[in-house]
Every structure is written in C-alpha cells, then in structure tokens.
Structure 1
C-alpha cells in the first residue's frame, strides 16, 4: 500500500471541516477534485473510509484511524523539512503566506524584492484571505505564515500553538468627502452625524470600528456596508459618507474628492506575522519576517505603538 501525502492532507482537512465543500475551500481546490482524490484514497487503502450523512461526511472507524496516523505522518514530514532546512544552511525553500490587499500592495513588493536580491532561494507565494481567516489557515498547516491584525479596541484571541512577530503599528485615519472637515483634524465623536461606510460586523475590522465608535459615545449611522477598503474609499470620494482607513490602506489607489483627517485620539492597529510554534527555528521564515519589518520601517511604521 502506497499512501499519498497529498490525499492524506485532504482526508485530514475533511475530518476537520466536516464537508467536502469546506475542505475544498480550505485547500483551494474544487469540491469535485477533492471528492475524486478521496475516492482514490479509498481505492489505495482498499477499504471504506467515510460515508455521507446528508451534506456532511462521517469517517468510518478505519477513516478515523487513518486520520490519526495522517496527523502523525504530516507532522513528521514538516519536522523533517524544518530539520533539513536548518542543517543545510543553504536557504532554498518555498513558503506560502496569507495576505490581504493593503499588506500585499503596501509591504510585500518592497520586502520580497529585497529578500529575492539577498536570498534568491526563498520563494514566497501568497494567498489572499480575509484577515480573520489567516490565523486558522496557519494553524491547520494550509499556510506557513500569515499576516494578522490586532485593533486597539478589539484585540484578537490568540492560539497558544502560534507565535507572532509584530511587523508594523498603523494609525487609523478618517477618510471624508473633500471639504467636509475643514480643520483637517477631528475626534471620532465629531464625525458621529455623518453617514458611514464600514465593513460588516462579521469582519474583525467592522467589529473593531463599531467598538471604537461606541467607546466614543455613538453608534455610527451606516448607510453602506462594503468589505473592500478601496470600494469604501471610492464611495467616500463620491460624497456618500465617511470611513476609517489605515496607513497602509492610504497607499492604495486613492480616488479624487477625499480628504484624510487625523484623529485627535489615535486609533491603532498592530500588524503581525503569525506562524506555527515548533521546536526547530526556521531560518527562512524569520528572514521573511525581517524583510517585512524592514519594508514597514521604510514607510515609517515601527513595531511599537506610536505616541499620541
């Protein structure tokens, strides 16, 4: 019997997620591709590994047994990879990072260009995910590292199995229609009467911004719920409301008709890189972190909260 690591990963993900569709989304495959590979795994083993119960899939006793061994096998493969990387001293490795728009455009071009010039053997691939989904993808092994966010008003819950390295601390600013705040500075509560454009409360950003407004004594009147910061900025430029945008977000294409207003009581968010806690230090991963920290420093974004 020859077991495919690729198919074992799919089995493990099926066990974790409960449905073929959820496993496929996590692994960035189509559901039909995952189903075909799992069917082949059953043929490889020569036994029934799972059975369908409505939309969900339940592992048989043999399926559970193989999943337990899959965890051990895949963990051993990862440890062997790390040990070889450390022993070789020559850094030739491919890492997959979870990103979102503002870090992908604001930090990675500078960081990865500098990294490639000094360490051409380190290849970094990226997958764009919602910020609140990236840590879980690191935890389950889908990603090697990911960018994660903590807001001063809504720190994220942290997994003891993950480490994180702070790469930047950003301020949040108000983006308002041109001329709406002539002074150029405002407290958050002074924007309470404006219509707002914010992400939904399902997102970490949307929850954090609502909490910040509530801390300043008001509930924002949200006329438009949009997830993409670039979309929110375009709507601000059209005069449809105000929003909050980070330092890195300001580096996205800014449409005309927008004034950026400094908040008198700073709102901060900390951008970190999350990675799995292991006994073996992974040099390539820490070189990537260092390159991102250097890119953030070039933009004036330190790793310590800025003073008000």
Structure 2
C-alpha cells in the first residue's frame, strides 16, 4: 500500500471541516477534485473511509484510524523538512505564503527580489486570501506562513499554536475624491456626513473601520459595500464616497483620489504568522528578514516580536 501525502492532507481537512465543500475551500481545490482524490485514497487503502450523512461526511472507524496516523505522518514530514534545511550549508526550500492585495503589491516585490538575489534556493509562492482567513490556513498546514493584521481598536483573536513576528506598523488615512477635503488633515467626525465605501462587517478591515467611526461618535453611511481595497479606491476616484486606506494600500491609488491624514490616527500592525514547529526553519527566518527589511525601507519597520 502506498499512501499519498496529498490525499492524506485532504482526509485530514475532511475530518476537520465535516464536508467536502468546506475541505475543498480550505485547500483551494474544487469539491469535485477533492471527492475524486478521496475516492482514490479509499481504493489505495482497499477499505471504506467515510460515509455521507446528508450534506456532511462522517469518517468510518478505519477513516478515523487513518486520520490519526495522517496527523503523525504529516507532522513527521514537517520535522524532516526542518532537519534537512538545518543540515544544509546553502538553504533550499519552497514556501507557500498567504497574502492580500496591499501586502502583495506594497511589500513582496522588493522583499522577494532581494531574497532571490541573496538566497536563490528559496522559492516563495503566494495565495491571496482574506486577511481574516490566513492564520487559520497556516494552523491547518495549508500555508507555511501568512501575513496577519491587528488594528488598534480591533485586535485579531490569536491561536496559541502559532507564532508571529511584527514586520510593519501602518497608519490608516482618509481617501477622498479630489478636492473634497481642502485641508491637509481631517478628523473622522468630519467624514460622518459623507457616503462611505467599505468592506462588509464580517471582514477584519470593515469591522475595524466601523469600530473607529463608532469610537468617534457616528455610524458610517455605507453606500457601497465592497471587499477589495482597489475597487473601493476606484469608486472614491469616481466621486462615489470616502474610505480609509493603509500605508501599504497607497500603492493601489488610482487618479482622482486625495489622501488626507487623520487627526487621530488609526493604526494597524502587520505580522507574519507561522506554526510554532517552524520557528527554527532557516528558510522561513530568511524570508521574515527580507520582508522586515522591505518594510523598514518604506519607513514602516517594527522590531519587536510578539510571543
């Protein structure tokens, strides 16, 4: 019997998520692809591993037994990877990172260019996810590391199995149509009567901005609820409302938008999250150093790790 690590990961996700659709979403595959691979795993094993109960899937006793061993096997693979990296003189590794738009455009190009010049054996692949989803993907083993954010008024719940290193501290600025705010600074309360363009309340950014507005005594009048910062800024440029944008988000700025400093800054911290077991991984540490250097070059550097 030959067991595929790829299929064992799918089995583990099925056990964690309860449905093929949820497992597929966490792994960034189609539900059909996951179903086919799980069916192949059953053929490899020669036994029934799960059964459907309505929309959910329940593992059989043999499925649970294999899942327990899958956790051990996948953990051993991660430890073996670490041992091999530590034993090599020149670091060679392939890492997968969870990113979102402003990090991908504002930090990664310079960081990965510098990393490739000094350590060509390290390859970093990226997957764009919502910021609130990246830490969970790292915890579940679907990513090697991810970028996560905490807002001054709305810190993100933290999983104790993950470590994080602060790499940047950003300010949020008001993004308004050209000429709408004549002065160089503006208070959030002065934007209370303007229409807003903002991500939904379930998103970390959307919730953080709503809390900041509430702290200043008003509920933003949201005319356009959009998830992508680039889309929100394009709508601001068209004169449809105002929004907030971070330092890194300024790389997405279209024509027709003025950036105005807030008199009472709203801050956010950008960190890299990784599993505790990967702390000694040389390739990961080199990536973290490259990203922190890129943030420092932009004036956004931070040096204190968060335990």
The Cα shift of 1:270 comes to: 0.4
Cα separation, partners in 2 of 1:171 and 1:280, compared to 1, 3 Å: closer
Corresponding residue number in structure 1 for 2:268? 269
1:41-190 equivalence runs, <5 A: 41-190=41-190
Q: Secondary structure at the match of 1:170?
A: strand
C-alpha distance in structure 2 between counterparts of 1:304 and 1:87, whole Å: 28
Shift of 1:31: 1.5
Query: Aligned Cα RMSD in Å?
Result: 1.2
State the distance in 1 between where 2:213 and 2:25 align. Answer: 34
Contact 1:82–1:280 (Cα < 8 Å) also in 2: no
Alpha-carbon deviation of 1:279? 7.2
Aligned to 1:222: 222
SS state of the match for residue 278, structure 1?
A: helix
Structure-1-length-normalised TM-score? 0.96
Instruction: Please give the per-residue CA displacement for 1:161-217, whole angstroms capped at 9, x wherever unaligned.
Output: 000011100000001111111112111111111111110001000000000000011
How far apart, in 1, do the equivalents of 2:14 and 2:8 lie? 10
Q: CA deviation at 1:304?
A: 6.4
Which moved further from structure 2: 254-263 or 145-154?
A: 254-263
Greater displacement, 136-145 / 47-56: 47-56
Q: Are 1:194 and 2:194 matched, yes or no?
A: yes
User: 1:183 & 1:291 partners in 2: Cα distance?
Assistant: 37
Cα distance, 1:280 vs structure 2: 5.9
Question: Equivalent residue for 1:287?
Answer: 286
Q: In the alignment, what sits opposite 2:210?
A: 210
Separation in 2, partners of 1:101, 1:131: 10
SS in 2 for 1:146: strand
Alpha carbons 2:167, 2:303 under 8 Å: kept: no
Q: Deviations over 1:107-157 (max 9, x none)?
A: 000000000000000000000000000000000000000000000010011
Residues 210 and 280 from structure 1, CA distance in 2 versus in 1: closer, same or farther, beyond 3 angstroms? closer
Q: Which runs of 4+ in 1 moved over 3 A?
A: none
Distance 2:231 2:36 in 1: 38
SS of alignment partner, residue 267 of structure 2? strand
Residue ranges of structure 2 left out of the alignment (5+ in a row): none
Identify if the C-alpha distance between structure 1 residues 280 and 173 changes in structure 2 by more than 3 Å, giving closer, same or farther: closer
TM-score by length of 2: 0.97
Report the CA distance between 1:259 and its aligned residue.
1.1
Helix, strand or coil for the counterpart of 2:241?
Answer: coil
Aligned residue number for residue 7 of structure 2: 7
Structure 1: distance between partners of 2:164 and 2:117: 25
The 1:121–1:179 alpha-carbon spacing in structure 2 relative to 1, beyond 3 Å, is same
Q: Which residue of 2 aligns with 1:34?
A: 34
CA distance in 1, matches of 2:136, 2:14: 15
Give the C-alpha shift of residue 256 in structure 1: 2.0
Distance across 2 between alignment mates of 1:238 and 1:275:
39
CA distance in 1, matches of 2:32, 2:93: 30
> What secondary structure does 1:296 align onto?
helix
